[in-house]
Amino acid sequence: MLQESRYPFVAVVGQEEMKDALILAAVNPRVQGVLLLGAKGTGKTSAVRGLVEILPTVNVSTCANGLGCRPEYLLTAPELVCASCRDRLAQGEEIATDMQQRLVELPLNVGVEDVVGGANRRLEVEQRRLRFEPGILSYANNNILYIDEINLLGSDVLNAIIDAAATGYTVVRRGLVVGSYPSRFTLVSSMNPEEGDLRPQLLDRIGLRVYVNPVATVEERLEVYRRFSAYQDNPEGFRASYAGQTALVQAAITQARSRLAQVKVGAAAGAAAIAVIQQLGIESHRTEIVLFEAARAYAALDERTEVSSSDVAAVAPLVLRRRRTAGPDYQAAQQREDVEIGAVVRAHTASLSKLQQRRKAKANQTHNGAQETEQ
C-alpha cells in the first residue's frame, strides 16, 4: 500500500482530463475540490495518491494545539493566538513554517468524532477532566483531504466535512466539550456511480467533476500493464525514471500558485461564461464561482494574468457537468403558482371590492332615508 501510494502522478497512462482537474485544484483551492466518477480499477486512487510528489510548498502553522495560530494574527486578531503560541513568539520562536502539502486520506469507517474531534478520553478517564482534541480535519488544514468512495460515507460525517470545506473552520459542540480550529483543505473524492450517487446539495459543493473511463486503445492498455509491471519490479527505479517530469510539474504548480493573485477575469471571458451558464439553465451561483476560479488557475499555469474565453472553454466541461437541476423545473412551477395565486387574489379582492361598494351604497341610502324622515 505504501508503494502504491507513491506511484508517480505523471506515469498514469492517459486520463489527461483527470490529471488536469487535480492540477487545477492544487494550483487554486478555490475551485472547491474534485470529484472523480468512474468504475473500479481506472486509476483514480493511484492518481490522487501520486499527487504527493507534485504538491507545492505552503506556509503552515505549527501550533501544538492544532488551532492554526499564525504570527500575523498577533497584530490583526490576537484572540486567535493560543497561550502556547504566545509564549513561543515571546521567546523568539517561529509558529509557522514552509512545508510541502500533504495528502490526508479519510478511512471509510470513521465516525463524526474521529473527523471533527471531541474529548480526550484518556484525560477524561485518568484525570477526570475534559480537554478538546481536534479530529482528522485539523490535519487536513492547508492540505489535500482525499475521500475514496465518498458516496458510501455516512451522511453525518459527509455533512461535517462539506460544511468545514465551505467555511474553512470546524466547530464542535459535544455537551460540555466545545472547540474550533481552521480546516482549509482541498477536497478530492472518488466514487463508483454503480454504488449510489451523492445528494444534489452535496454534489453542488464539489467544484470539478471528471468522468474517469478506462483508456481506449489497445496500445494504452498494454502501456498500463508495462508500467505497472516495471513499478512492481523496481519501485524506486521506476519513480526515479519519472523524477524529471515530476519536478517540472511541481515547479509549474508552484509558479502558478504564486502568479494566481495577479490573474483577473477579462470582461469578454466573464460575459461568455455567464451566457453559457444561463443558456444551460444552471441555477446554482457556485457554478460561476468555480468556473472563474478554474479558469484563473488555467491561465496562471499558462503564465498569463488575464483569463480569456479560451480558458473558460478549456475548463467548462469540468465545471458544468451535473450542474443542471434534476427533476421538476422549480422556477417554472413557481411562476405558474404565482399566476394562479394572483388570479385567485384578484378575483377575491374584486368580489370584496364590489361587496364593499354595495355596503357603502346601502349605508348611504339608509343615511339619506333617515335624513328625509327627520325633515
SS3 at position 362: helix
Residue type, 102: R
- Cα–Cα distances (Å) from 58 to 8, 100, 169, 348, in that order, read 21, 6, 18, 66
- Output the pLDDT for position 18: 93
Q: How far apart are CA 345 and CA 302, in angstroms?
A: 58
Q: Which of 330, 55, 332 is nearest to 188 (CA)?
A: 55
- Across the chain, which has 375 residues, the per-10-residue mean pLDDT values are 65 90 94 89 88 85 75 74 83 82 85 72 53 75 88 84 83 67 86 82 86 88 93 91 92 93 90 86 87 94 91 88 67 69 67 62 61 54
- Output the pLDDT for position 161: 86
Q: How far apart are CA 12 and CA 209, in angstroms?
A: 19
Q: Scanning the structure block, which residue is given the C-alpha cell 485539523?
A: 138
- Output the pLDDT for position 191: 87
- Output the pLDDT for position 102: 87
Sign of CA dihedral 57, 58, 59, 64: negative
Is-catalytic flag, 174? no
- What is 154-215 written as a DSSP string? -HHHHHHHHHHHHHSEEEEEETTEEEEEE---EEEEEE-GGG----HHHHTT--EEEE-PPP
- Cα–Cα distances (Å) from 366 to 219, 302, 353, 359, 362, in that order, read 100, 87, 20, 10, 6
Per annotation, catalytic residue among 184, 221, 286, 322: 286
- Output the pLDDT for position 1: 32
The DSSP symbol for 66 reads: S
